[in-house]
């Protein structure tokens, strides 16, 4: 059985979660297939988009599979999620997610591992693990909590309530909210923009920024100076800077003028 639908559009790798009859619930085999798809994307693409096929992005953990596991098997399953989601967050490519319908539990944890999240107006977000007698296990206590803050995540987990896309944007869970049915189109357009950046710059953005946030201010500034110097002296940076100085590169435009 295959759980994903993958395709390539130019420099963009698209990974579609394709288990709509289960609201794209994530099983162990699902995670293994996702890991292989991300690895394949890294061999040819410059950016990637993860989206859901059917009415929902992802309703989270496959509880029918999880309930049969021993505690030790549960730990191994959680660590597998961590490994795969870490590869998305801190791998070679910038990843964008297109969200609609349920973005719940493990689905929110998956979305939180991507770098830019685009939600359409149908998207809703929840962490119902507390009502299921379990705890987040796909990195949510680190990634989702750092996006929205511990207090808001505590609220979601204790009450089981869901929030809409507008609230998710206000809480920093998503960066864009778009009309129903347009999240994938916008996510692909944003990924195409990112794909035009220097590869070393993209790599520094997705790998250095989260690590710098984990450092003290002084350590972060010290590391930043080295990364800035290293990227600025690359051959591609030199070519791009010279193109700008020669007025051959576009300037920063006003909001709304760049199509974002």
- What residues act catalytically? 109, 129
* 162-164 vs 124-126, strand pairing mode: antiparallel
∠ at Cα 113 (140, 157), nearest 5°?
20
Order of strands across the sheet that contains 102-104: 102-104, 124-126, 162-164
User: Is 9 in contact with 39 (CB distance < 8 Å)?
Assistant: no
CA dihedral 162, 167, 169, 171 (to 10 degrees): -80
Query: Residue 227 in 3-state DSSP?
Result: helix
Q: Is the dihedral of CA 101, 147, 12, 28 positive or negative?
A: negative
Tokens representing residue 73 in the block:
């098997």
């Amino acid at each position: 059985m295959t759980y994903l639908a993958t395709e390539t559009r130019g420099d963009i790798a698209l990974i579609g979660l394709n288990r709509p009859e289960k609201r794209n619930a994530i099983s162990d085999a699902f995670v293994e297939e996702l890991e292989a798809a991300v690895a394949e994307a890294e061999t040819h693409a410059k950016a990637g988009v993860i989206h859901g096929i059917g009415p929902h992005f992802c309703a989270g953990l496959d509880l029918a599979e999880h309930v049969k596991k021993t505690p030790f098997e549960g730990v191994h399953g959680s660590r597998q999620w961590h490994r795969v989601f870490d590869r998305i967050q801190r791998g070679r490519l910038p990843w964008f997610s297109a969200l609609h319908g349920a973005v719940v539990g493990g689905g929110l944890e998956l979305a939180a591992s991507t770098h830019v999240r685009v939600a359409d107006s149908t998207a809703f977000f929840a962490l119902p693990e507390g009502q299921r007698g379990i705890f987040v296990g796909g990195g949510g206590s680190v990634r989702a909590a750092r996006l929205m803050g511990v207090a808001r995540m505590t609220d979601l987990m204790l009450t089981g309530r869901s929030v809409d896309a507008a609230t998710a944007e206000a809480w920093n869970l998503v960066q864009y909210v778009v009309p129903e049915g347009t999240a994938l189109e916008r996510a692909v357009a944003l990924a195409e923009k990112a794909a035009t950046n220097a590869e070393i710059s993209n790599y520094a953005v997705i790998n250095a920024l989260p690590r710098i946030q984990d450092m003290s201010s002084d350590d972060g500034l010290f590391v930043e100076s080295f990364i800035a110097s290293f990227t600025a002296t690359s051959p591609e940076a030199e070519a791009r800077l010279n193109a700008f100085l020669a007025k051959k590169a576009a300037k920063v435009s006003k909001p709304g003028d760049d199509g974002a």
